[in-house]
Amino acid sequence: MAARSIVKMGTPSLFEKSRPWPADKFDSPELHALLADMKDSMIAANGAGLAAPQIGENVRVVIFEVDNNSRYPKREPIPFTVLINPLLLPASDEKVDDWEGCLSVPGMRGLVPRYPKLRYTGFDQSGAAIDRTVDGFHARVVQHEVDHLDGVLYPMRITDMTKFGYTEILFPNLVGDDDN
């Protein structure tokens, strides 16, 4: 498989709600090919996660992982996860602001409110159920990626637009572009 181009903000398909992955297509050659392309694309872009719509496939499939990523040296590791047809259940109404970027919005960052702890459910590539409760950066990454499945990009969640701009202006000492 191969890394695909990342779809950029402004492309109409990024604002569409993705269709569920069919239950009879788990563990299929079609799914394995999509996941291989997604993983290659995420690695090539040095991302923490990727949603299928970001490579032009509007299906409810996301992947994420943080392990010795130079762009996230102070973030806790997140195991490689394939999450299909996810549901998110926040632990409370509390939200916490933190900086985010996105491979589909390159070179920019914004302060985004997210739930600090949540439970997520869904399925892996073989159709096995996933049910995890997570917090911190892991919770933020899952919310960011699942937003893509609903046609939501992180700038749409920013509540103070003075906290949105080019990474090089907001963080002149940051090495590299810290996008999700």
Residues annotated as part of the active site: 145
List the one residue out of 48, 61, 51 whose CA is nearest residue 14.
51
Distance, in Å, from the CA atom of 67 to the CA atom of 29, rounded to the nearest integer, reads: 27
Distance, in Å, from the CA atom of 35 to the CA atom of 62, rounded to the nearest integer, reads: 9
Distance, in Å, from the CA atom of 100 to the CA atom of 47, rounded to the nearest integer, reads: 12
CA distance to 12, 30, 93, 105, per residue, from 165 (Å): 22, 38, 27, 11
| 170 contacts 178 by C-beta, under 8 angstroms | no
